[in-house]
Amino acid sequence: MSSAAGPDPSEAPEERHFLSTAEAAALERELLEDYRFGRQQLVELCGHASAVAVTKAFPLPALSRKQRTVLVVCGPEQNGAVGLVCARHLRVFYEPTIFYPTRSLDLLHRDLTTQCEKMDIPFLSYLPTEVQLINEAYGLVVDAVLGPGVEPGEVGGPCTRALATLKLLSIPLVSLDIPSGWDAETGSDSEDGLRPDVLVSLAAPKRCAGRFSGRHHFVAGRFVPDDVRRKFALRLPGYTGTDCVAAL
Amino acid sequence: MSSAAGPDPSEAPEERHFLRALELQPPLADMGRAELSSNATTSLVQRRKQAWGRQSWLEQIWNAGPVCQRLAFPLPALSRKQRTVLVVCGPEQNGAVGLVCARHLRVFEYEPTIFYPTRSLDLLHRDLTTQCEKMDIPFLSYLPTEVQLINEAYGLVVDAVLGPGVEPGEVGGPCTRALATLKLLSIPLVSLDIPSGWDAETGSDSEDGLRPDVLVSLAAPKRCAGRFSGRHHFVAGRFVPDDVRRKFALRLPGYTGTDCVAAL
């Protein structure tokens, strides 16, 4: 996989592996407007696939009781909604806890929150700033704070402080779509920012994924219709059987 | 699994395997609700729909049909013709599930065709239809009454016409005629939730009605599933929260790994 952060001009169109932020937004718009997917459907598909990716990277039989505890940190935008769905699916296999400090007022987020609460997934009222407490309490952390195009400044103090704490994490970190805080185009801040062990690209990898150097990179994009994939000239790995995620 | 169509009085609450359709009624404080005749749908579904939203609900049982088909009719083992699947959709929720199922079948590289003659005007159905059309899934304008034509054109048929509590009379002539044709099918038939036309409680009409090879129970098996005698019975219910499962005193099979369906 190319480690360059920018497009290779000699790269044939069908060899593209990444989407720019603008293209990612255009792809989503196409799914919503032309294909009439609902936002709820897309978030559900992505959240479910993210949970499946977690089970592939951290298979349950190999984990101890403590290692099954998962902290899911959710921001107020769509990435956070995907995190809520992911937590709900993880509940079936793991013991998720959610930290969702800055809550969106939008109906979808509220309903997803209700679903998680009704499934007895605890919501933390605050996140310890002492990272060792997180390392000891959980087996892994899911970062669902910032998606492409969301500025760190938009999400509020608690999320920002949470990200600062997560930078010092020593347990595994799984980022949904992009590592929160990275520039989605250039991957700048990839040195100072979060360094996840696992990246789950939603629909297709973003440019900054070129700088990802963790253990596993999955793409959760099976639901993207072929025509759309071709339109964005994406070449993505094959999926096996009925898998909704593929490892890159 | 019990093959009795009715409750076994000695069956311990946690041993129940089926949902009575009337339990799917809106819950009433009145304990006399057990005496009410079963009627339309799915309070289990309704209440969840309110919090969960119908789209989310449908996507949660997204894999029901296709994954069961892969389990029952794995792709590598099928010839080109056998990968062609006819999905017959009614105008109610069962039909919406069928539309989502068809879309996923397309992703999994089967070749679905949809027969959806009586279209719901509801936005969700219209959006699901658009998704299928945009994915180049053909929609038939009519279904041959000569069943041999269907047997020859397709490898299997998915019945997503009638769910529990929907009367055959409610769905219109074309669906009713389609069901009459499907009774004579000789290729495999997969029914979603209940075999269309069966009484959801008693399974009556199970002798004269559709005789599917595969039944995919959604959320939990309905009472009539006791009379199902086909090859495979799957339950697509992993998304049902434990609390809800306990509340309805259901004992369902374990799921393997991240599977969303389990074979009974």
ipTM of the modeled complex: 0.81
Question: What confidence score (pLDDT) does residue B30 get?
Answer: 28
Question: What confidence score (pLDDT) does residue B66 get?
Answer: 65
pLDDT at B178 over 70: yes
What is chain A's alpha carbon radius of gyration, rounded to the nearest angstrom? 17
Q: What is the rounded average pLDDT of the residues A71-88?
A: 96
Give the pLDDT band of residue A4 (cuts 50, 70, 90). very low
pLDDT at A115 over 70: yes
Question: What confidence score (pLDDT) does residue B43 get?
Answer: 42
Question: What confidence score (pLDDT) does residue B49 get?
Answer: 44
pLDDT digit string, tens, across residues A23-67 = 999 999 999 999 999 999 999 999 999 999 999 999 888 888 878
CB-CB neighbors (< 8 A) of A33 in chain B? none
Nearest to B55 among A35, A38, A120 (CB): A38
Output the CA angle B69-A27-A234, nearest 5 degrees: 75
Question: What confidence score (pLDDT) does residue A124 get?
Answer: 96
pLDDT at B114 over 90: yes
Is the distance from CB of B212 to CB of B234 less than 8 angstroms?
no
Chain A from 59 to 118: CB within 8 A of any B CB: 60, 92-93, 108, 111, 114-115, 118
B48 vs B69, higher pLDDT? B69
Residue with tokens 């069966």: B198
pLDDT at B10 over 60: no
Give the pLDDT band of residue B18 (cuts 50, 70, 90). low
Q: For chain B, give the mean pLDDT.
A: 77
Question: What confidence score (pLDDT) does residue B68 get?
Answer: 66
- Does residue A123 belong to the interface with chain B, where contact is any CB pair within 8 Å? no
The CA distance from B36 to A157, in Å, is 54
Give the pLDDT band of residue A92 (cuts 50, 70, 90). confident
Task: Note the pTM of the prediction, 2 decimals.
Answer: 0.81
Q: How far is A79 from chain B (nearest CA, A)?
A: 16
The CA distance from B214 to B71, in Å, is 11
pLDDT at B5 over 60: no
The CA distance from B212 to B204, in Å, is 14
- Asked if the Cβ–Cβ distance from B70 to A44 is below 8 Å, we say no
Question: What confidence score (pLDDT) does residue B31 get?
Answer: 24
Q: Give CA separation, A27 vs B34, B104, B228, in Å.
A: 50, 19, 44
pLDDT digit string, tens, across residues A174-205 = 999 999 989 888 887 766 679 999 999 999 99
pLDDT digit string, tens, across residues B212-260 = 999 999 988 998 898 899 999 999 888 888 888 888 888 777 888 778 8
Chains A and B form CB pairs within 8 A to the count of 71
Question: What confidence score (pLDDT) does residue B146 get?
Answer: 94
- Asked if the Cβ–Cβ distance from B70 to A225 is below 8 Å, we say no
3-state SS of A169-203? CCCCEEEECCCCCCCCCCCCCCCCCCCCCEEEEEC
Report how many helices (DSSP H) and strands (DSSP E) chain A contains, helices first.
Answer: 7, 8
pLDDT at B58 over 80: no
Residues 6+ apart with CB under 8 A from A116: A84, A87, A88, A91, A98, A123
Token pair listed for A93:
């296999």
Q: Which amino acid does the sequence have at A111?
A: D
Q: What is the rounded average pLDDT of the residues B197-204?
A: 83
Interface test with A, best of B47, B49, B54, B59 (most A CBs within 10 A): B59
Q: Give CA separation, B222 vs A149, B209, B241, in Å.
A: 47, 16, 18
Question: What confidence score (pLDDT) does residue B53 get?
Answer: 61
Is the distance from CB of B155 to CB of B84 less than 8 angstroms?
yes
pLDDT at B32 over 80: no
Chain A from 150 to 209: CB within 8 A of any B CB: none
Return the closest-CA partner of residue A145 out of A104, A117, A190, A110: A104
- Asked if the Cβ–Cβ distance from B136 to A36 is below 8 Å, we say no
pLDDT at B44 over 50: no
CB-CB neighbors (< 8 A) of A119 in chain B? 241-243
